[in-house]
A and B are shown apart, each in its own frame.
Chain A
Amino acid sequence: MASGPDTKPTLTPAQIQRHFLLRRLHSLTGLVPIGVFLVVHLVTNSSLAWGRFALRGKGEGLTVAEGGVKYFQHEVTFINESVPHLLLIEITLWVSIAFHSILGVVYATSGKSNLQRYPHQDNWRYTLQRISGYVGILFIFYHVATLRWGWTFLIPEGTKWSHSFSASTLAAAMQGSTEGFTIFGVAVSVLYMVGVTALVFHFANGLWTAAITWGITISAKAQKRWGIACAGLGAGLMLAGWSSLIATMTLDYDEAHLIERQMFIEKYGEAEYEAYVEQKGIETADPQPEQSTGSGGGE
């Protein structure tokens, strides 16, 4: 018997390749660009909390909140005005997110969670990965729709986000008004807390599973060690996410607006400012209270 009586696969090579490619692309898009963007985004946003310290000399006399606003606004301006091919990056990102989401839902619905019978930690994460995926999709949609596409009808009192008044308008969007928390604002904030938490978990856990999927961590020990690393990264991102959320939720609209106003005027002049807020419908703040916040604001 020269050749073995071995079977031939029933699927065509093309079918096999396509399936594999989709699976791997799904995994890859989760890491790059989505994962990378998530890290950059959360770190940038968390500058609302730590920006004051990064300003060093330039932030002298500012409160932590004010310094955060200043640094954050600076970052946002840089991204919006200096990063090349921003539109291309955004399109790539959105296509990736759409791809990852749609395939993710298809894949997730092919499984059936069985936590009651097998309540292991890994199995919990399997289930949470899917739940966090669903939550993440809804959250990202709301987040982008309201703050990027300007679907203001989804925001209580319709505050529209402006990248020139990034911190204040963000705070207003999350708090529900420019005057502090409303009941809707609480809901939006909770959505943000849940959404950010879900996405950070999804990313950190996805990073762990990706190493198995791609065959980077083979031994159980390696998987465990990488798991600890992913947990560490997740904790860091969680810290960044939550600190930006807390900073935003505790931010005073007027206070933030004045910092941004000053930065705007320094760059474009007073007339431009008046025209811009008029055109965008951004609620202005009275510069008078400047005195009450002490001497720092004037410098």
Chain B
Amino acid sequence: MQQQQRVIVVGGGLAGLAATVRIAEAGIPVDLFSMVPVKRSHSVCAQGGINACNEVARQQGYSEYQHFDETIYGGDYLADQGPVLEMANFAPKVIDLLDRMGVPFNRTNEGQRDLRLFGGSLFKRTHFSGATTGQQLLYALDEQTRRYEASGLVRKYEFWEFLWPIIEGEVDGLDGDGRCVGMVAQDMRTMQIRSFRGASVIMATGGCGLVFGKSTNSIICTGGAASRCYQAGAWYGNGEMIQVHPTAIPGADKCRLMSESARGEGGRVWVPRKKGDDRKPSDIPENERYYFLEEKYPAYGNLVPRDIATREIFDICVNEGMGVKGENQVYLDLTHKDPDYLTRKLGGIMEIYEKFAGDDPRHTPMRIFPAVHYSMGGIWTQYTPGTYTPGTQHGEHKPGMAAPVDAQPGQGMALGAPNNMMTNIPGLYAFGEVNFAYHGATRLGANALLSCIFDGLYCGVSVANYVTQGDPAERPIDSIDQGLYDAAVESEQAKMSRFIDTVDGAEVSDDTNPYLIGKEMGEEMEAACTVVKTEPRLKQCLDKLAELRERFSRARLPDSAAWTNQSLSYSRAVGDMLIMAEMIAKCSLLREESRGSHYRLDFPDRNDERFLKTTVASFNAQSQGAAQHDVSYRDVQTKLVKPRARTYGKVEKQEPAKTETPAKEAASV
């Protein structure tokens, strides 16, 4: 065996850390890069839990296959089915492993792992650790990573920002001879830019919530790294699929999630009937309140499915302009309930609201608004199909039915195949939220944590195999001419200098202020490209983005410091986000149907004939403006489960839903 080649992991959330642990365990040294100490990655924000089939559910008729079916159905058939099957089959192993790592999963009296009901299933299949499951999972992986760091196998580069992948050869979709052999990164403190050699680079950089301004995402989730890979030739899949959560607490800095259980416990959604009514909510008499969900949906009332709630709230504020105090917010009112009851049933979320909104929801109605939550789309990845290929597609899978396939590894996606979750650029992988592969058009609740860890563990083996047996084994990375790396560094240095040179003491106008350009982009994207999309609005959005891109080309930095220049880092990301935003808007415009979280008012139905396809965007640097985004479609692999129709009102469409939904499905047959 030749000397060990290193692997680069970019991003230290669940996906990045799981990959790091798996690859280091194979004896391959890892360089782990993160813009924040990995323990502070965005995975900490996940609250609900992580799905996996378990013994109790199994004995009631649940199976890994049922989990797979739910995920595909939830994602409106837009995900390739092989990898999803593999993920569902692998899920119990993920839970066991996390358990062994010491995650304090909630326990039953007997000391077994406790389970809770979660959206989209009749069965308790969601494992959880208090109200901060994501945090607990991340910490467990952080600890294992630290263990490898202490042993010298993992080198952490925290506060380092990924700038560009280094590619040897030409990238041309799936046909080029290019391969990723390293990357350029910048130390956010010293501002040093340098190259790193890596036999493979794993992008585990999360979502792009900041493209939409205020989202539920962390401040680091700009999507900048994904955008840079996209600009370097990596394909981007299903960019238009952005999940919006109906109830979030709008803050001046970000939106924080408000659990759906507030509505479940009797919360009523309303706005004042009179536009711009400035009175305190308690001063507005009952007949001057507009309980719009109850009036429009007498049967379901406030308990309409998530996507409808999201659209109605959005509509009342954005289109009708009836939001509370003219802002984008509606009341979610629990004040008619007994305060003690609320404390007992909803203590945790009452506290969150009090802490961040400053009001006591037991006495003052909460003010909420939908917020961008998750990006199903991401860097396009490939895989080697598994061994399970039924001759005909299966129909709907019902609980209790025998699973047509067992849960052995390799049924859905070949175990250890080097190209699993590899982008169209050999050597460059995408794991976790930045990977488009698992959630189709909308994500089921408590599946996000699973997909991140699954990628890291299952496909980490693929990376190890690629490094030890694939291309880098034949053409070692060390033998590549240093000139390639130096040129990449120079190119990034030149980009930085161009920014720094804009600082010349002259007044920064609003027109060229990168912070304001970023803000305007967020506002535009949120308004045009989230809950309700229409052709005219999307076109208008593309015009606005073109204007912003033009203004950005003249942007002036407010800081020329050669030390810890945060405005450089932010401004550079704004440029990349603008490109991402434009691609998302263009993909939204071209998908003339409604599917999952993508809702086109002008095309309200799903159109399998034209659009049961993955949107693939590729960046054409030679072009200008929106023409830079070449959008094409690739067939979705639906060999296992036959797509079935879904109707609104009857069927829960989005993530963590009420459990009655599948119950109805089961009962309807």
A-B contact pairs, 13 of them (CB 8 A): A1-B25, A4-B147, A5-B147, A5-B148, A5-B150, A5-B151, A5-B152, A5-B153, A6-B147, A6-B150, A6-B151, A7-B150, A7-B151
Among B141-164, those with CB < 8 Å from A are 147-148, 150-153
Binary interface encoding of chain A residues 1-33 relative to chain B, with 1 for a CB under 8 A from any of its CBs, else 0? 100111100000000000000000000000000
Q: How far is the CA of A5 from the CA of B151 in the complex (A)?
A: 5
What 6 pairs between A and B have smallest CB-CB spacing?
Answer: A5-B151, A7-B150, A5-B148, A5-B147, A1-B25, A5-B153
Q: Which B residues are CB-close (under 8 A) to A5?
A: 147-148, 150-153
A8 to chain B, nearest CB (A): 10
A4 contact set on B, CB distance < 8 A: 147
How many residues of chain B have a CB within 8 Å of chain A? 7
CB distance from B457 to the nearest CB of A (A): 15
Q: Determine the chain A residues whose CB is within 8 A of the CB of B151 once the complex forms.
A: 5-7
Name the distance in Å between A195's Cβ and chain B's nearest Cβ.
Answer: 48
User: Given known contacts A5-B148, A5-B152, A6-B151, what 10 new A-B pairs fall within 8 Å (CB)?
Assistant: A1-B25, A4-B147, A5-B147, A5-B150, A5-B151, A5-B153, A6-B147, A6-B150, A7-B150, A7-B151
Write the chain A residue with the least CB distance to B146.
A7
What residue in chain A is nearest B27 (Cβ atoms)? A1
CA distance A7 to B154 in the complex (A): 13
A55 to B531 CA separation, bound complex (whole angstroms) = 93
Q: Give the chain A neighbours of B152 by CB distance below 8 A.
A: 5
- Inside 8 A of A6's CB, which chain B residues have their CB? 147, 150-151
Docked pose: A1 CA to B153 CA in angstroms: 13
Q: List chain A residues, Cβ under 8 A from B25.
A: 1
* B253 CB, nearest partner CB in chain A, Å: 26
A1 CA to B148 CA, complexed, in Å = 12
**Closest chain A CB from B284 CB (angstroms):** 44
Residues of A within 8 A of B153 (CB): 5
In the complex the two chains form, what is the Cα distance from A7 to B153 in whole Å?
Answer: 12
Residues of A with C-beta under 8 A to B150? 5-7
Q: How far is the CA of A11 from the CA of B419 in the complex (A)?
A: 46
Total number of residue pairs linking A and B with CB closer than 8 Å? 13
How far is it, in angstroms, between the C-alpha of A286 and the C-alpha of B359 when the chains are bound?
A: 82
Number of interface residues of A (CB under 8 A): 5
What is the CA–CA distance of A107 and B279 in the complex, to the nearest angstrom?
A: 61
How far does the alpha carbon of A256 sit from the alpha carbon of B404 in the complex, in Å?
Answer: 105
Complex Cα–Cα for A6 and B147 (A): 6
Q: A1 to B22, alpha carbons, bound, how many Å?
A: 11
Residues in B with CB closer than 8 Å to A1 are 25
Residue of B nearest to A1 (CB): B25
CB of B77, distance to nearest CB on chain A (Å): 40
Distance A1 CA – B21 CA, assembled complex (angstroms): 12
Residue of B nearest to A5 (CB): B151
* Distance between B573 CB and nearest chain A CB, rounded to angstroms: 35
Write the B23-51 contact mask toward A (1 if CB under 8 angstroms, else 0).
00100000000000000000000000000
Min Cβ gap B461→A in Å is: 14
CA distance A4 to B101 in the complex (A): 13
Flag B151-194 by CB within 8 Å of A: 1 or 0 each. 11100000000000000000000000000000000000000000
Residues of A with C-beta under 8 A to B148: 5
Residues from 117 to 157 in B contacting A, C-beta threshold 8 Å:
147-148, 150-153
0 or 1 for each of A257-286: is its CB under 8 Å from B? (1 = yes): 000000000000000000000000000000
Distance between B27 CB and nearest chain A CB, rounded to angstroms: 9
A25 to chain B, nearest CB (A): 33
One digit per residue, 1 when the CB lies within 8 angstroms of any chain A CB and 0 when it does not, for chain B 536-548 equals 0000000000000
Q: Taking the nearest CB of chain B, how far is it from the CB of A180, in angstroms?
A: 65
From A7, which residue of chain B is reached at the shortest CB distance? Answer: B150
CA distance A1 to B147 in the complex (A): 13
Closest to B153 in A: A5
What's the nearest-Cβ distance from chain A to residue B174, in Å?
Answer: 36
Q: Provide the bound-state CA to CA distance between A4 and B147, in Å.
A: 8
User: Which residue of A has the minimal Cβ distance to B151?
Assistant: A5
CB distance from B383 to the nearest CB of A (A): 27
Contacts of A7 in B (CB 8 A): 150-151
Nearest-CB residue, chain B, relative to A8: B150
Provide the bound-state CA to CA distance between A178 and B67, in Å.
Answer: 96
Chain A residues within an 8 Å CB radius of B147: 4-6
Interface residues of A in 204-227 (CB under 8 A from B): none
* Minimum C-beta distance from B26 to chain A (A): 9
Bound CA span A6–B150, Å: 7
Chain B nearest CB: distance from A49 CB in Å? 55
How far does the alpha carbon of A4 sit from the alpha carbon of B148 in the complex, in Å? 9
| Bound form: Cα–Cα A6–B143 in Å | 12
Cα–Cα distance between A7 and B151 once the two chains are bound (Å): 6
Report the separation of the CA atoms of residues A137 and B151 in the bound assembly, to the nearest whole angstrom: 48
Bound CA–CA A5/B147 (angstroms): 6
Most chain B CB atoms below 10 A, which of A1, A5, A6, A7:
A5
Report the Cα distance A180→B259, complex, angstroms.
78
Complex: how many Å from CA A4 to CA B151? 9
Docked Cα-Cα span, A5 to B150, in Å, equals 7
CA distance A5 to B154 in the complex (A): 11
Q: How far is the CB of A11 from chain B (nearest CB, A)?
A: 16
CA–CA, A7 to B148, complex, Å? 9
In the complex formed, the residue of B with least CB distance to A4 is B147
- Of chain A, the residue at the smallest CB distance from B24 is A5
Q: How far is the CA of A171 from the CA of B476 in the complex (A)?
A: 92
CA distance in complex: A1, B152 (Å): 15
Interface centre among B25, B148, B150, B153 (most CB of A within 10 A): B150
Q: Cα distance A6–B25 when bound, in Å?
A: 13
Smallest beta-carbon distance B93→chain A, Å: 17
Instruction: Give the distance to chain A from B140, nearest Cβ to Cβ, in Å.
Output: 15
Give bound CA distance, A6 to B144, whole Å: 10
Taken together as a complex, chains A and B put the C-alpha atoms of A82 and B472 apart, in Å, by 90
Cα A206 to Cα B581 in complex, Å, equals 63
CB closest chain-A residue, reference B152 = A5
A156 to chain B, nearest CB (A): 63
**Least CB distance, B348 to chain A, in whole angstroms:** 22
Q: Report the Cα distance A153→B118, complex, angstroms.
A: 84
CA distance A7 to B152 in the complex (A): 10
Nearest chain A CB to B342 CB, angstrom units: 28
**How distant is the Cα of A1 from the Cα of B25 in the complex, in angstroms?**
7
Q: Shortest CB–CB separation between residue A66 and chain B, in angstroms?
A: 67
**A38–chain B nearest beta-carbon distance, Å:** 46
Shortest CB distance A31–B (Å): 37
Measured CB to CB, the closest approach of chain B to A4, in angstroms, equals 7
| Residues 603-628 (chain B) with a chain A CB within 8 angstroms | none
CA distance A6 to B146 in the complex (A): 10
Cα distance A6–B152 in the bound complex, in angstroms:
10
In chain B, residues 87-110, which have Cβ atoms closer than 8 Å to a Cβ of chain A?
none
Alpha-carbon distance between A192 and B25 when the two chains are bound, in angstroms: 67
Distance in Å from the Cβ of B413 to the closest Cβ of chain A?
Answer: 25
Report the separation of the CA atoms of residues A4 and B25 in the bound assembly, to the nearest whole angstrom. Answer: 10
Bound CA span A62–B200, Å: 98
B373-399, CB under 8 A of A: which get 1 and which 0?
Answer: 000000000000000000000000000
Please measure, in the bound complex, the distance between the C-alpha atom of A10 and the C-alpha atom of B307, giving whole angstroms: 57
Digitize B420-455: 1 where CB-to-A-CB distance is under 8 Å, 0 elsewhere.
000000000000000000000000000000000000
Interchain nearest-CB distance for B361 vs A (Å): 30
CA distance A1 to B144 in the complex (A): 13
Q: How far is the CA of A5 from the CA of B148 in the complex (A)?
A: 6
Within 61-99 of A, Cβ neighbours of B (below 8 Å) are at none
CB distance from A88 to the nearest CB of B (A): 51
Interchain nearest-CB distance for A62 vs B (Å): 67
Give the contacts of B455-494 with A (CB-CB under 8 A).
none
Distance (whole angstroms) from the CB of A71 to the closest CB of chain B: 62
Q: From B26, which residue of chain A is reached at the shortest CB distance? A: A1
CA distance A268 to B153 in the complex (A): 85
